[in-house]
Amino acid sequence: MPNVVVIGTQWGDEGKGKVVDILASRADLIVRFQGGNNAGHTLVVDGEQTICHLIPSGILHKDKKCLIGNGVVVDPQVLLEEIRTLTEKGFSITSERLFLSEKAHLIMPYHKALDMAREAAKGKGKLGTTGRGIGPCYEDKVGRRGIRAVDLLDPKALEEKIRINLEEKNFLLSRFFGADILEFQPIYDSYLLMAEKIVPFISNVSLEIDEAIRKGEKVLFEGAQGTHLDIDHGTYPFVTSSNPVSGAVCAGAGVGPDKLHHIMGIVKAYTTRVGAGPFPTELLDETGDYLQERGAEFGATTGRRRRCGWLDLVMLKDSILYNGLTSICVTKLDVLTGLDRIRICVAYNINGKRIDHMPADIRSLAQCEPVYEELPGWNEDISNAGDMDQLPGRTRDYLERIEEITGVPLSIVSVGPQREQTIELMDPFK
């Protein structure tokens, strides 16, 4: 059976949650492979909104197994709060449905303290971090001093690792940043208490996935953020601390590349970005305000207003290159309704030279001027369209132009936040 990877192709917030929610109905396992609770997937089911930060959004489907891979950094407090919230909404969250990789690294209080202290120290040079300790946790992972979920099974090992880390972190907090130090005992005691509730979910996620694939079951892999927040391929340093690209599935879930069959790239019909960093197609005018207000563009995790701009096919083509996309899903197409003219960025101009890729240097990217193609807009309500024939001709022209320029076929078109407001052109599992 084919296994499907869902990838964000922009700066995150592309609407991956809804797409994963739809595809999860056909999958047996839904696996999150990277990132932390600095991301949020917003789902609207029967008019009720649910936001998942760590647990894969497939959890809203009964009898589906949801797995948090080793590539995810997990704040135990956030995970338990998410389990509690979902349980209160009537969803069954048991150790038979939810699995946490024993190799997943844990976010500690000192990670969050360092995150906030560093961001405060940067002043005007802030990166726009969410302050949730994601970056510092990944630093400890790479520095081989991290604390993993498996350490919750061994109180003595947990104690030793917290003490060693606190010695270094408190030195940085107090001597370098002038911030308050953290005490060992409250941290240790709180993690022991949380361990009692989390330990039943800890598992060898890679084995769970392998066994499912051997049985012929379908696996859906979901990431957080988007390709251009990738630590290697994004607009560095205004990026996240992990790899949201498709290749990271192998490392972040513990599967071989031969197990990835369909790579679906999620593309918002326009472009948004949260926080700082260059944004070539950003609209600082009434059109940008229109997109922001009509699209309700606020971060699901931070609540921050998202910057809005025209669809950038330069960055999308780079995403196709990095991810090897099989198909494209266009989301929030309905937000463009009511605009007289719609622009698509097809290239950049920099110092009189036309380029069709994103420069690695952010100073150069900030100097890039978008080269636009302009298409006529539409005023018809498309939110109830069930197939492509029900879309206005100008709307179809817009979608067809995206396919023509990228060379990648459309698989899904989303025309509203509800599950049923979706046009499916192909089933990636077939």
Mapping DSSP onto H, E and C, the string for 68-120 reads: ECCCEEECHHHHHHHHHHHHHCCCCCCCCCEEEECCCEECCHHHHHHHHHHHH
CATH number (domain holding residue 59): 3.40.440.10
Q: Give 42's contacts (C-beta < 8 A, 6+ positions apart).
A: 17, 18, 49, 50, 51, 300, 417
Q: Would you call 41 a catalytic residue per the annotation?
A: yes
- H/E element, 332: none
The predicted pLDDT at position 121 comes to 84
Six-digit token string for 134: 């994601």
pLDDT score for 339: 98
67 & 98 share domain: yes
Q: Does residue 166 form part of some domain?
A: yes
- CATH at 154: 1.10.300.10
Marked catalytic residue, from 13, 28, 75, 334: 13
- 346 Cβ neighbours under 8 A, 6+ residues apart: 313, 314, 356, 371, 372, 373, 405
Q: What is the pLDDT of residues 88-136, one digit of tens each?
A: 988 889 999 999 999 999 999 999 999 999 988 876 655 666 789 999 9
Same domain (yes/no): 404, 326: yes
- What count of other Cβ atoms lies within 10 Å of the Cβ of residue 360? 11
Whether 430 is covered by a domain: the verdict is: no
pTM here is: 0.93
Task: Quote the tokens at residue 73.
Answer: 């950094």
**Which pLDDT does position 321 carry in this prediction?**
98
Residues 276 and 311 in one domain: yes
Q: Which residue in this structure is represented by tokens 């969050």?
A: 112
| DSSP summary character for residue 58 | G
Q: Is 233 a catalytic residue?
A: no
User: What tens digit of pLDDT does each residue of 228-242 get?
Assistant: 999 999 999 999 999
What are the pLDDT digits (tens) for 130-146? 789 999 999 999 999 99
Mean residue pLDDT of the chain comes to 94
285 shares a domain with 253: no
Note whether 90 and 8 are same-domain residues: yes
Name the residue with tokens 């990217």. 365
List alpha helices for 123-268, DSSP H. 134-142, 155-171, 184-198, 205-214, 248-253
Q: Does 276 lie in the same domain as 379?
A: yes
Q: Which residues of the chain have pLDDT under 70?
A: 1, 39-47, 123-129, 300-302
Range of 253's domain? 4-102+201-259
Choose, from 21, 28, 41, 140, the residue flagged as catalytic: 41
3-state DSSP helix/strand/coil % of the chain, to nearest 5: 40, 20, 40
Domain end point (choices 198, 222, 251)? 198
